[in-house]
């Protein structure tokens, strides 16, 4: 479903703003600052997003040759997240709770003890698990000023837009009736927000 194989499902964004003159050097540097970083079980972060190679999600050495494809800037938007199965967490927590109470000679955990123990159990389980990984292709047609992002979930859009805008210091706007008219340079564009909806059934006549 991505840029390279299969049927294509994507959202189209318009880049608002001009490319800086030295954009290649600048962008490579900026991308490197926001390249994906692996999650560490010791950290509190539950998930993290960053850029990776569009061809290989494990390739995080983003050289200009891997990023610039003639007139396109191609990146993978990688998000790793800890997903601890509920049943595994519950069973592990019960076991840890039993041990803690036995060691400390108490019958029941206080609220703060419970919270601390939950954090310990989560950290222990994370060391045994591999984070769930999702990668979405992103292709920016530089001359056209259009970004095609091969995912249509608004939640994923929000995360990608945040990272994109921080990385490139340019805004993204999702395509739609107004922007399509505006970017095609149509005279009618400015009048569109003033139009009223039409009724097409008999009662509307």
Residue 108 is a binding residue for other proteins (CB under 8 A): no
Residue showing tokens 């970004």: 147
Taking the complex as a whole, the smallest distance from the CB of residue 188 to other proteins amounts, in Å, to 4
Find, among 136, 148, 143, the residue nearest to 23 by Cα.
143
Burial degree of 145 (CB within 10 A; 0-12, 13-18, 19+): middle
Nearer CB in complex with other proteins: 126/148: 148
- Pairwise CA distance, residues 171 & 161, whole Å: 8
* 97 touches other proteins (CB under 8 A): no
Q: Residue 5: name the closest of 137, 135, 153, 133 by CA.
A: 137
| Interface with other proteins: number of residues (CB under 8 A) | 44
Q: Measured from the CB atom, is 39 or 172 closer to other proteins?
A: 172
| Bridge partner residues of 50 (DSSP) | 78
The residues near 32 (Cβ < 8 Å, ≥ 6 apart) are: 62
Rank residues 133 and 181 by Cβ distance to other proteins and give the closer one.
181
Segment 160-199, which members bind other proteins (CB under 8 A)?
A: 173-181, 184, 186, 188, 191-195, 197-199
Q: CA 188, 194, 200, 205 torsion: positive or negative?
A: negative
- The verdict on 7 binding other proteins (CB under 8 A) reads yes
Is residue 101 within the footprint of other proteins (CB under 8 A)?
no
Q: Which of residues 20-59 bind other proteins (CB under 8 A)?
A: 55
Contact characters 60-89, other proteins, x per CB under 8 A: ---------xx-x-x---------------
CB of residue 134 to other proteins, shortest distance in Å: 18
* Cα 110-114-117 angle, rounded to 5 deg: 135
Contacts to other proteins by CB under 8 A: 3-4, 7-12, 55, 69-70, 72, 74, 139, 141, 144, 148, 152, 173-181, 184, 186, 188, 191-195, 197-205
């Amino acid at each position: 479903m991505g840029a390279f194989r299969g049927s294509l499902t994507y959202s189209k964004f318009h880049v608002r703003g001009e490319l800086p003159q030295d954009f290649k050097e600048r962008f490579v540097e900026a991308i490197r600052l926001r390249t994906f970083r692996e999650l560490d079980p010791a950290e509190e972060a539950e998930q993290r997003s960053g850029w990776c190679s569009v061809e290989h999600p494990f390739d995080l050495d983003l050289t200009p040759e891997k990023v610039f494809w003639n007139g396109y800037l191609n990146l993978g938007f990688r998000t790793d997240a800890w997903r601890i199965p509920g049943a595994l967490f519950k069973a592990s927590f019960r076991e840890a709770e039993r041990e803690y109470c036995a060691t400390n000679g108490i019958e029941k955990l206080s609220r703060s003890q419970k919270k601390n123990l939950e954090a310990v159990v989560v950290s222990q389980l994370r060391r045994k698990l591999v984070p769930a990984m999702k990668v979405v292709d992103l292709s920016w047609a530089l001359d056209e000023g259009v970004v095609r992002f091969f995912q249509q979930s608004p939640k994923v859009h929000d995360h990608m837009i945040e990272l994109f805008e921080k990385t490139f210091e340019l805004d993204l706007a999702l395509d739609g009736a107004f922007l399509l008219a505006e970017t095609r340079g149509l005279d009618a564009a400015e009048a569109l927000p003033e139009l009223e909806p039409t009724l097409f059934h008999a009662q509307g006549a």
